[in-house]
Structure 1
Amino acid sequence: MPGSLAFVLHSHLPWLRQHGVFPVGEEWLFQSWSESYLPLIRVLDGLADDGFTDVVTLGITPVLAEQMADPYLMEEFHGWLGRRQLDLRWTMSAAPASDKATLGPVWEHHWQRQAQLLEQLEGGLLDTGLVEPFARLARRGVIQLLGGPATHPYLPLMTDPALIRGQIADGLAITQSLTGIRPTGVWTPECGYRPAGRVADPSEIPLHVADDGTPTLPVSTTDLPGIEAFWAEAGVSHLVLDGPTLARAAGAPPTDWGSTARDLPRVGTPMDVLDRPVLIGDSDVAAFGRNLAVAYAVWNPTGGYPADVWYRDFHAIDMEGGYKSWRVTDTTSLIKEPYDPAAATARVADHAADFIGLLSEHIAPRPDDTCVVAAYDTELFGHWWYEGPQWLDAVVRGLAAQADVGTTTLASSLRQHPPSTSLALPESSWGWGKGHAAWVTEETRWIWREIRRAEERFSMLPGGPSRRAAWRQLTLLQASDWPFMIAREQSAQYAVERVKTHLARFEQACRGTLDPDTDLAAAHTPPASHTRPA
């Protein structure tokens, strides 16, 4: 084939087990599992049964995988699904006649879908958990599984090489213990990258803050190898970074990345770097970059397919039953029309054909080693965009019906077309300004200071159960989610409470008064490096 498409889905939620239920906490897990993960399993199983391979590269962060395999959470999820169905029955029976006349058909759609989800869960997944079906699909060659550090820390700002190695070692060990597969590829958290040199210090006041919030930080005295060196030590051969990281390294001019949807670059420009992997510096680790011009056709900062007037509106919620029964109708109006599943399905076919056409247009003039990486959060498909799993299925099947583009995984692409270009990459992320602004603000500086103090104290702890307990709390404290939620003002108070909780538990662990199994899932035995990072 002239070229290939690599769908890459990134699955991540922080540690939520027994840390709240609603509106934040375990409810986040259950919403994503019911709206994205169960539908995705159904779609991928259908493609597998029809003989498809190399369909999707799926990253599941270890901290999420632990929860997806945890028996306690699976039982709670089962009960939550059942209660959701009861809530729907109450809504259907208690509604006035006028609502029944207009919303009755979509309520029936919800009822059938809830029954389908319960049947799917009770058909074996309740016993195996939600990791095993993805592991099975990986063993069949339908998908590739990506790994990552244990708790999704922001690696560019970590200064202790032992803790970086510990996070990586635990993450790969957790994925292997839960899936039987040792990942050779990773989605590095937040697409964060740092080259060799001194590490920026987020615990200090910035030297300068740009208009987009990007801080110029003072550097610590710590001089470390680039992030790729740590992954290479662990046996990882490839990782996913943001497209602008590679483009900047190749000499692309400053770009408003939020407006690049469908802005297909000309052949022979620095943007060509997004169409195949590159080696990072003088290492053997390959980096794949998100092709935003193609990927943003689906969803971007200003719109995309999910904003179509016929799709289900994410924000219009029945506050009694919690169901979303209206379509987008008009993105500028609060007046919504009832959701029509059949009409939405017709639009899925249109948008799948449109995306395939755009992809063919992009690939046609390029060499046959072209690999377009279309990367998204997994929750886009189903949770944020209800029709997303249908669209994914339609695109994969539509590509198979023609000869110019096929799907691939990152590992397969790397085997078929090993990279020959090396680039020195800049410090970067996917966030605001493609730097640290989404995690480092005046409001988050105290978190970074507390993390630094905890890391220093941990380095002096002797071995044993107390060290293992302290390590778990430290890694949960290092999660990139907490400063991001505060900087973005998304459930910021919850994030503050979680930071304070893990700080308090870390102190208890250091004093030997915390149960070593606190905040551990029951799905597996913790890796040895919980006791002492390599």
Structure 2
Amino acid sequence: MNGELALVLHTHLPYLKGHGVWPVGEEWLFQAWAGSWLPVTRVLERLAEDGHRDVLTLGVTPLAAHQVRDAQLGNDLGIWIAGQMWRSEEQRWHRHMGIEVVELATYYWRHFADLLAYHEDVQSRGGLTSVWADLAANGVVELLGGPATHPYLPLIADPAEIDAQLAVGLDDHATWAPRRPTGLWAPEMAYRPQGRVADPTAEPLHVDRHGTPTLLRVGRELPGLETQYAAHGIDHVLVDTATLWDAAGRPTRDWTADEVLSPGEVAGFDEIHDGVLIGDSDVVAYARDVTISSHVWSASAGYPADAWYRDYYAHGTFGTHPSWRVTDHALPPDAKEPYVPAAADARVDVHADHFHTALRATLRPRPDTLVVAAFDTELFGHWWFEGPAWLEAVLRRVADDPDLRTSTLASRRERRPPTRRLTLPESSWGHAKSHASWVDGATRPMWQAIDDARGRARSALAGGRGSARVRRQLARELALLTTSDWPYMVIRGNAAGYAHERVSAHAGAIDRLCRLLESDDGDSAAEVEAARLAAIDAAPRDPDALVAALQADGTSVG
């Protein structure tokens, strides 16, 4: 059979340092870093020690890399993990919550003590980016890059801005990784073909029953995003199943009703089990297989929903750790049964076996083909506590199977380069596979704020005004303003207030700098304000290409 599993993980969070602590700001960062990024990295190191190579593809966005390289944040994370150990001791005394919950205190103390020791070991070796770089240099993982601040690329009308985002992000990656990346997890798996750009600030021409907006197209016709990817040395990217489904001319289907393809649909859909060349470029699009991935995660089910796994939302009271299992989704959090780690471990083995069997069943009729299973790294450990253990179990089962192998996307492209070419539609991995998760009435003011700030910054910098420090900070603030997480958080109902605050903060910073630049005696005041802002918003480290894009005429491509 010789089928291949290309597991792809996306390590990303928006820039959170200095922008709140709890419940969304740095707390979110520490939960993801300690709960997922460290445990998943430890799994990869164990596999590497056992001789495994070509294990998986690890996407690391520049914003994630920037934050894990921050010495202060690394120290603060150690303090945070130690605080979780103290929380375990507090749990030991909450006897009114039941003996089963009290006895989990020792389990959690050991868990966080072990995690702290590993974190300190990683920091002593240069931090997570150093470990990831070593794993890549030794052929264990492929590292994917990304644009500087994870903007939603299809809705950026200026190709010079896209070029700058790619240049800054990929250059930053090259400062810590063993080589410049040739693969990209495009933000939100979003793609735009050749044509004019949709305007998210205008009232939509039409909104269908799934919330998908038909947006007014503005400006001149631009090349497809693959043209700019290729100009920056990118030769493979991720898209969603629906993107290749539509590109191949398959029958129209409602992706909001069910992402999972039926056996009949899969039977004729060869593109999902290989890559395709985008248009007339040499850039390959690999699609995540939503059918196989749905075993792990879907809108309504997946392994993490099992009754014996730890319930993420059942936090209890009085400062205890989450100590209850899923039990029954119909039950409120305070009616859940206590968590039993040994029982959860047993379910990990069951679900690893199930996934391995499903993988074999998918690949058996298709010798020498590929399954791409792509997830946010944060799923494994943070959202799904048992996720790292499941990940390791699956990877070991595949490696031990003589008919299967793991592969990175780069390795697959080199060994079996695709030959079929398709013109891809505008798409994403969001709701309805469209812009619907980023553009609606609630986010239109956000997009207008971005557009206004972009125009304001360009006007203020006209004629070469402002020192290098001021120009660089203006570019940073605009880049952070365009992060795709903000509109997504509003539409999908996750910390919408925080997203609005961040947009307001970055737009306000841009306005203040611009007003100071435009005043008669504002140079020194602008310097002071830029220095103050740079102490908070220090990413990207080198935004010079973004400055140049703001001062350009918007005609650059590559």
TM-score (norm 1): 0.95
Q: Deviations over 1:75-133 (max 9, x none)?
A: 1111111112112212212x12x535222332221111010011111224266222221
What's the counterpart of residue 372 of structure 2? 373
What's the counterpart of residue 530 of structure 2? 515
**In structure 1, what residue type is equivalent to 2:231?**
E
**In structure 1, what residue type is equivalent to 2:20?**
G
Whole-Å separation in 1 of the counterparts to 2:310 and 2:316: 13
What's the counterpart of residue 406 of structure 2? 407
149, 154, 157: which is aligned to 1:156? 154
Whole-Å separation in 1 of the counterparts to 2:75 and 2:401: 44
What's the counterpart of residue 491 of structure 1? 495
327, 330, 343: which is aligned to 1:329? 327
Which residues of 2 match residues 297-336 of structure 1 at below 5 A?
A: 297-334=295-332, 335-336=335-336
**How far did residue 251 of structure 1 move?**
1.5
TM-score (norm 2): 0.91
What's the counterpart of residue 553 of structure 2? none
- Segments ≥4 residues shifted beyond 6 Å: none
- State yes or no: 1:40 paired with 2:40: yes
2:175 is paired with a residue whose SS is helix
What's the counterpart of residue 418 of structure 1? 417
Whole-Å separation in 1 of the counterparts to 2:498 and 2:80: 21
139, 142, 149: which is aligned to 1:141? 139
**How far did residue 261 of structure 1 move?**
4.0
**In structure 2, what residue type is equivalent to 1:41?**
T
130, 133, 140: which is aligned to 1:132? 130
- State yes or no: 1:214 paired with 2:212: yes
1:222 is paired with a residue whose SS is strand
Q: Deviations over 1:406-438 (max 9, x none)?
A: 110000000010010000000111111111111
Does the CA contact (< 8 Å) of 2:87 and 2:321 recur in 1? Answer: no
- State yes or no: 1:6 paired with 2:6: yes
Does the CA contact (< 8 Å) of 2:157 and 2:219 recur in 1? Answer: no
**How far did residue 367 of structure 1 move?**
3.3
Does the CA contact (< 8 Å) of 2:136 and 2:178 recur in 1? Answer: no
**In structure 1, what residue type is equivalent to 2:240?**
D
237, 240, 247: which is aligned to 1:239? 237
What's the counterpart of residue 475 of structure 1? 479
Which residues of 2 match residues 95-114 of structure 1 at below 5 A?
A: 95-96=94-95, 98-99=96-97, 101-114=99-112
**How far did residue 275 of structure 1 move?**
0.5
- State yes or no: 1:502 paired with 2:515: no
Which residues of 2 match residues 326-405 of structure 1 at below 5 A?
A: 326-334=324-332, 335-368=335-368, 370-405=369-404
Q: Deviations over 1:25-84 (max 9, x none)?
A: 000100011111111111111000000011111111111110011011111111111112
What's the counterpart of residue 456 of structure 1? 455
Whole-Å separation in 1 of the counterparts to 2:292 and 2:429: 16
1:455 is paired with a residue whose SS is helix
Whole-Å separation in 2 of the counterparts to 1:412 and 1:434: 28
**How far did residue 503 of structure 1 move?**
0.8
Whole-Å separation in 1 of the counterparts to 2:82 and 2:287: 41
1:259 is paired with a residue whose SS is coil
- State yes or no: 1:526 paired with 2:525: no
**How far did residue 490 of structure 1 move?**
1.5
What's the counterpart of residue 254 of structure 1? 252
Say if 1:264 and 1:48 are closer, same or farther in 2 by CA, change over 3 A. Answer: farther
After alignment, is 81-90 or 61-70 more displaced?
81-90
1:502 is paired with a residue whose SS is helix
**How far did residue 405 of structure 1 move?**
1.4
1:299 is paired with a residue whose SS is coil
Whole-Å separation in 2 of the counterparts to 1:381 and 1:309: 17
What's the counterpart of residue 57 of structure 1? 57
**How far did residue 312 of structure 1 move?**
0.8
What's the counterpart of residue 71 of structure 2? 71
**In structure 2, what residue type is equivalent to 1:497?**
E
**How far did residue 134 of structure 1 move?**
1.3
What's the counterpart of residue 523 of structure 2? none
Whole-Å separation in 2 of the counterparts to 1:106 and 1:501: 41
Whole-Å separation in 2 of the counterparts to 1:525 and 1:240: 26
Say if 1:206 and 1:126 are closer, same or farther in 2 by CA, change over 3 A. Answer: farther
Whole-Å separation in 2 of the counterparts to 1:442 and 1:55: 43
**How far did residue 527 of structure 1 move?**
5.1
Q: Deviations over 1:297-331 (max 9, x none)?
A: 11111101111111111111123225111111112
What's the counterpart of residue 295 of structure 1? 293
Does the CA contact (< 8 Å) of 1:70 and 1:521 recur in 2? Answer: no
Identity of aligned residues (%): 46
**How far did residue 288 of structure 1 move?**
0.4
Does the CA contact (< 8 Å) of 1:71 and 1:127 recur in 2? Answer: no
Whole-Å separation in 1 of the counterparts to 2:183 and 2:506: 29
Query: Any stretches of 5+ residues in structure 1 without a counterpart?
Result: none
Whole-Å separation in 2 of the counterparts to 1:31 and 1:364: 39
After alignment, is 386-395 or 317-326 more displaced?
317-326
**How far did residue 531 of structure 1 move?**
3.8
**In structure 2, what residue type is equivalent to 1:496?**
H
Does the CA contact (< 8 Å) of 2:310 and 2:339 recur in 1? Answer: yes
2:548 is paired with a residue whose SS is coil
Question: Alignment RMSD, CA only?
Answer: 1.8
Does the CA contact (< 8 Å) of 1:467 and 1:509 recur in 2? Answer: no
**How far did residue 246 of structure 1 move?**
0.7
1:300 is paired with a residue whose SS is coil
Does the CA contact (< 8 Å) of 2:13 and 2:64 recur in 1? Answer: yes
Does the CA contact (< 8 Å) of 2:307 and 2:327 recur in 1? Answer: yes
**In structure 2, what residue type is equivalent to 1:172?**
L
**In structure 1, what residue type is equivalent to 2:70?**
D
Query: Any stretches of 5+ residues in structure 2 without a counterpart?
Result: 518-525, 550-555
What's the counterpart of residue 440 of structure 2? 441
Equivalences, count: 529
Say if 1:428 and 1:291 are closer, same or farther in 2 by CA, change over 3 A. Answer: same
Whole-Å separation in 2 of the counterparts to 1:239 and 1:323: 39
- State yes or no: 1:187 paired with 2:203: no
**How far did residue 248 of structure 1 move?**
0.7
Does the CA contact (< 8 Å) of 2:193 and 2:223 recur in 1? Answer: yes
Say if 1:527 and 1:482 are closer, same or farther in 2 by CA, change over 3 A. Answer: closer
Whole-Å separation in 1 of the counterparts to 2:103 and 2:297: 28
Say if 1:396 and 1:265 are closer, same or farther in 2 by CA, change over 3 A. Answer: farther
After alignment, is 458-467 or 101-110 more displaced?
458-467
**How far did residue 525 of structure 1 move?**
4.7
**How far did residue 383 of structure 1 move?**
0.9
**How far did residue 520 of structure 1 move?**
4.3
**In structure 2, what residue type is equivalent to 1:358?**
A
Q: Deviations over 1:132-168 (max 9, x none)?
A: 2111111111111101111110000000111111111
Whole-Å separation in 1 of the counterparts to 2:226 and 2:303: 35
